[in-house]
Amino acid sequence: MKKHTVSLVSLGCPKNLVDAEVMLGHLPPDRYEIITDEAQAEIIIVNTCAFIQDAQEESVDTILEVADYKKNGNCRLLVVSGCLPQRYREELERELPEVDLFVGTADAPRMVALLEEKIAGSGVRQAVSDPSFLYDHTTPRVKSSPFYSTYIKIAEGCANHCSYCIIPRLRGTLRSRSIDSVVAEARRLVSQGVAEINLIAQDITAYGADRSDGANLPDLLRALTKIDELHWLRLLYAYPDGVSDELIDLVAGEEKICSYLDIPLQHIDDEMLKQMNRRVSEQQVRELVARLRERIPDLTLRTSFIVGFPGETQEQFEKLLSFVEEGHFDRLGVFRYSREEGTVAAELPEQVPERVKNERYKRLMKAQARISFRKNRALVGRVEPVLVEGVSEETELLLRGRSVRQAPDVDGQVYITAGRAEVGEIVPLRITDSSEYDLIGEIVED
């Protein structure tokens, strides 16, 4: 029997990437062949993001671009999945006649049945269900990231209800996997050659709070560090009030847990934090940062901030800028506030003009670029573990990789100017030079 060819385009965050891999995993390999060339695929799936306006626009642009393959390629079925249909199911059905099937964030288990109906010439066009699905170690998953690195989603949904955020509507409330399930998936992936596991969720520090078996993040980490061939375990997206002393001690003391934390803080001004419905104050944030720096030697600290939140005054922004200029953070993401329909913040008065948001964004990024450059220069001469990822995109004469200080996709790279290593190997590298975001070095052969 001839197989149907399927190509998938995944947009947005690593959590979306895992969703896409799970979706592909549900397609039986005896009936569906996954290919990377959209022009040759009979079925194209676009897995979308709808977190902020820019992501929504990118999703729609990609859908329209891919839809051209229905005229000039082999595409018979165009499927749009994920956050965008979950949020705008009726509008999309009306505005995008090119799309044959819409599915939501929790519809991976239904994908085969829905596709089979469509292939047979019947079936519904909109099949978005309420977000309740949670994948586990038994769920089929087609890994699309490099063989040596992967993401594991330890929980789905969120119960924080920040006033600017649409996530609980798109993904439901917090649903945590069991420790045994996460460990079983990790063991399987490590047995296939994975050296680096990045733990993700909307808020990893909330992991287990919804369960009745006592599961929590420190216990999960202790179980994962017992996996022999796992080398790097990285923690992403931690809520500040969930970073406990127990967690700090684990990051400081466990060799396999990278001394790297991503803790989105969003602002430093108390009134802004209150309006954002964040559960922390300036004093608590400062105490946390000081505690982390004191107790985790050589910590790489990443955060993100929002500029232009409704009511943000110039004085409040200057306070945030001064806080950043104090140099607490090695990595920093800045978001211009996006007024999202259905959120509490969208109804707040004193919405900030776009030009003001852009100006504040540029000033904050410029300030952090100077700090990042200074921190990278301080690494010159040191020997750091680096995960080799392949040949540089700039020139085939250089290898590239990532330091233990650099998370995939969001941080910089290391350019390797001397020495030999295999892709997926972790090697000692002496840092010889740096830029604002990237490092340059030579493999220590001894």
Domain boundaries, the chain: 4-119, 149-377, 383-443
- Position 188 scores a pLDDT of 96
**Residue 26 carries which side chain, given as an amino acid letter?**
H
Q: Which residue has the tokens 């110039």?
A: 314
Nearest to 53 by CA among 354, 321, 425, 387: 354
Structure tokens at 42: 């009979």
- Counting every residue written for the chain, the total comes to 446
Q: Per the annotation, does 75 bind a ligand?
A: no
What are the strands, taking DSSP E only, across 26-76? 32-34, 43-48
Q: Which residues pair with 306 in a beta bridge?
A: 335
Nearest to 80 by CA among 88, 143, 72: 88
Residue 126 has pLDDT above 70, yes or no: yes
Nearest to 425 by CA among 226, 185, 198, 149: 149
What is the pTM for the complete model shown?
0.93
Structure tokens at 266: 């969003």
Write the DSSP symbol of residue 373: H
- The alpha carbons of the chain give a radius of gyration, in whole angstroms, of 22
Mean pLDDT, range 330-334, rounded to an integer: 95
Share the mean pLDDT of the chain. Answer: 93
In this prediction, residue 277 has a pLDDT band, given cuts at 50, 70 and 90, of: very high
What is the end-to-end Cα distance of the chain in Å, rounded? 55
Higher pLDDT, 90 or 323: 323
Q: Per the annotation, does 162 bind a ligand?
A: yes
- Position 136 scores a pLDDT of 94
Q: What percent of the chain has pLDDT over 70?
A: 99
Residue 419 and residue 207: Cα distance in Å, rounded? Answer: 41
Out of 48-62, 159-173, 204-218, the most confident range is 204-218
Query: Sign of dihedral through CA atoms 31, 36, 39, 45?
Result: positive
415, 438 contact by CB (below 8 A): yes
Residue 235 has pLDDT above 90, yes or no: yes
Say how many CA atoms lie within 13 Å of 381 toward its Cβ: 3
Distances (CA, A) of 154 to 215, 235, 425: 11, 11, 26
Q: What percent of the chain has pLDDT over 90?
A: 76
- Position 55 scores a pLDDT of 84
Lowest-confidence pick of 121-125, 159-163, 199-203, 244-248: 121-125
- Position 394 scores a pLDDT of 74
Distances (CA, A) of 194 to 52, 143, 185: 32, 11, 11
Q: Per the annotation, does 165 bind a ligand?
A: yes
Q: Tell me which H or E stretch contains 118.
A: helix 111-119
Residue 318 has pLDDT above 70, yes or no: yes
Residue 51 has pLDDT above 80, yes or no: no
- Position 269 scores a pLDDT of 98
Q: What's the pLDDT tens digit per position in 352-369?
A: 999 999 999 999 999 999
- Position 1 scores a pLDDT of 66
Q: Per the annotation, does 83 bind a ligand?
A: yes
Q: Per the annotation, does 258 bind a ligand?
A: no
Q: Which residues pair with 77 in a beta bridge?
A: 43
Lowest-confidence pick of 33-47, 52-66, 338-352, 354-368: 52-66
In this prediction, residue 52 has a pLDDT band, given cuts at 50, 70 and 90, of: confident
Domain 4-119: homologous superfamily in CATH:
Methylthiotransferase, N-terminal domain (3.40.50.12160)
Residue 209 has pLDDT above 90, yes or no: yes
CATH architecture of 383-443: Beta Barrel (2.40)
- Position 54 scores a pLDDT of 85
Domain 149-377 sits in CATH 3.30.470.20: no
Distances (CA, A) of 193 to 25, 28, 200, 398: 19, 24, 20, 24
